[in-house]
Amino acid sequence: MKQEWKGAVRLGVVLFALYLAVHYWNALSGFLVLAVGAAFPLLVGAVAAYAVDILMCQYERWYFPRAKSRLILRTRRPVCLVLAYASLVAIVILLVRMILPELVSCVGLLVQKVSPLFYQLGLLIGESLTQEQLAAFSGLFLADGSIDWKETISVISDWLINGLGGVMGSVISMVSATVSTTFTAVMALIFSIYLLLGKEKLTRNTALVFRTYLSPRWYGRLSYFWDTLNGCFHRFIVGQCTEAVILGLLCMAGMTLLRFPYASMIGVLIGFTALIPVAGAYIGAGVGAFMIFTVSPLQALLFLVFIVVLQQLEGNLIYPKVVGTSIGLPGIWVLAAVTVGGGVLGIGGMLLAVPLAATLYQMLRDDVRRRNPPPEPAPAPEESSEDAP
């Protein structure tokens, strides 16, 4: 009787909470947006800390793993943390040095070819609007053909005020966005460093809180879900980054051998966009083909053929070995997760959907196996005493 009463109370509380959420949805959604906006630097820092922790843990395995010295034990975490961030900064600098010269060359060539088109377009627009311009500025002249300076000064003043107002508004918006982005980046970096330096203590305290306020059954379920989710995300990040590096290097090497222009920049672009499962490399291929098209349309067509061949090689040999087996998710579900995640949250949804789908797939598979254990083998028949020699 007591258990039924508790169940009825819980059901009533849940229904009442759902009613409040539906009835006051506008206020609730506004509060959630405000809370997420206020905590956005912390969320970015947590995501950065999770990604950097993978590299930091690898450095910790290499940093005198068998040493017992107190100095080494105390310096292991700070040194490996600095090495992890320094490695990321070095990678960014290397990529910028590889991309920037070719990017400047590509933009210069594009401007050189597009400028005459804009000039011709301006001439056409000027010829077509000559009568309208004369009609618009006819009020600036008097009947005898002389300039009405009063009207002219008024028009010029209005134009300057409106123009300067728009320019000042753009400048203020740009400065505000720059300051906001810088603040977010600095706070995210500081928060990620705090998380990485004290991750063991934070993990112990979080586990203690959940053990205190949750029943053993629910705590076990939550621990199982977190371990599965963490494992899927860890394997996905490592596998996807490895696959992106391999694909980018293969693309760069192939373009260099085939003498395609912008080999370094397009190789980096292909590798970077390959972080998006399934569709990422094709996005990079489209941008790369457009860049090559500014130099030679025939080479752009040959580049697309090269990318198709490379994608077949990557999809059939590299991706199943590097990523597919690591996350344990069939290809059809990877495609479905990318499609749904991209439709909901765009590129971020594509990155999150695959490890989340892998987590749900693994949990469902484990639950099905638990509910349907394999049949035990039948015991071998015993020989009767009459058949014995």
Check if the beta carbon of residue 264 is closer than 8 Å to that of residue 295: no
Give the pLDDT score at 191: 92
Residue 281 has pLDDT above 60, yes or no: yes
pLDDT (tens digit per residue) in 204-260: 999 999 999 888 888 888 999 998 888 888 888 888 888 888 888 888 899 899 888
Q: How sure is the predictor about 365, in pLDDT bands with cuts at 50, 70 and 90?
A: confident
- When pLDDT is averaged across residues 286-295 and rounded to a whole number, the result is 84
Residue 160 has pLDDT above 70, yes or no: no
Give the pLDDT score at 324: 58
CA atoms within 13 A on the CB side of 77: 11
Give the pLDDT score at 73: 83
Give the pLDDT score at 380: 59
> What does the alpha-carbon distance between residue 250 and residue 104 come to, in Å, rounded to a whole number?
24
- Name the more confident of 365 and 10: 365
Nearest to 196 by CA among 278, 79, 309, 287: 79
- When pLDDT is averaged across residues 75-83 and rounded to a whole number, the result is 90
pTM score, whole prediction: 0.71
Give the pLDDT score at 379: 64
Q: How sure is the predictor about 29, in pLDDT bands with cuts at 50, 70 and 90?
A: confident
The terminus-to-terminus CA distance of the chain in angstroms comes to 67
Check if the beta carbon of residue 301 is closer than 8 Å to that of residue 132: no
- Name the more confident of 335 and 137: 335
Residue 130 has pLDDT above 50, yes or no: no
Which residues, other chains included, contact 287 with Cβ-Cβ below 8 Å and sequence gap of 6+? 269, 273
pLDDT (tens digit per residue) in 293-342: 878 888 889 998 998 888 887 767 766 666 655 666 776 777 788 788 87
Give the pLDDT score at 149: 60
Residue 187 has pLDDT above 70, yes or no: yes
Token output for 205: 């305290």
> What does the alpha-carbon distance between residue 166 and residue 153 come to, in Å, rounded to a whole number?
20
Check if the beta carbon of residue 115 is closer than 8 Å to that of residue 285: no
Give the pLDDT score at 131: 46
Token output for 293: 């098209």
Report the C-alpha dihedral over residues 121, 301, 295, 263, rounded to 10 degrees.
140
Residue 116 has pLDDT above 90, yes or no: no
> What does the alpha-carbon distance between residue 52 and residue 298 come to, in Å, rounded to a whole number?
42
Lowest mean pLDDT among 118-122, 304-308, 346-350: 118-122
Give the pLDDT score at 265: 85
Q: How sure is the predictor about 8, in pLDDT bands with cuts at 50, 70 and 90?
A: confident
Q: What percent of the chain has pLDDT over 70?
A: 74
Give the pLDDT score at 134: 44
Give the pLDDT score at 106: 74
Q: How sure is the predictor about 275, in pLDDT bands with cuts at 50, 70 and 90?
A: confident
- Name the more confident of 85 and 165: 85
> What does the alpha-carbon distance between residue 333 and residue 316 come to, in Å, rounded to a whole number?
16
Residue 86 has pLDDT above 90, yes or no: yes
Q: What is the mean pLDDT of the chain?
A: 78
Mark 74-105 as b/e (b = at least 16 C-beta within 10 Å): eebbebbbebbbeeeeeeeeebeebbeebbee
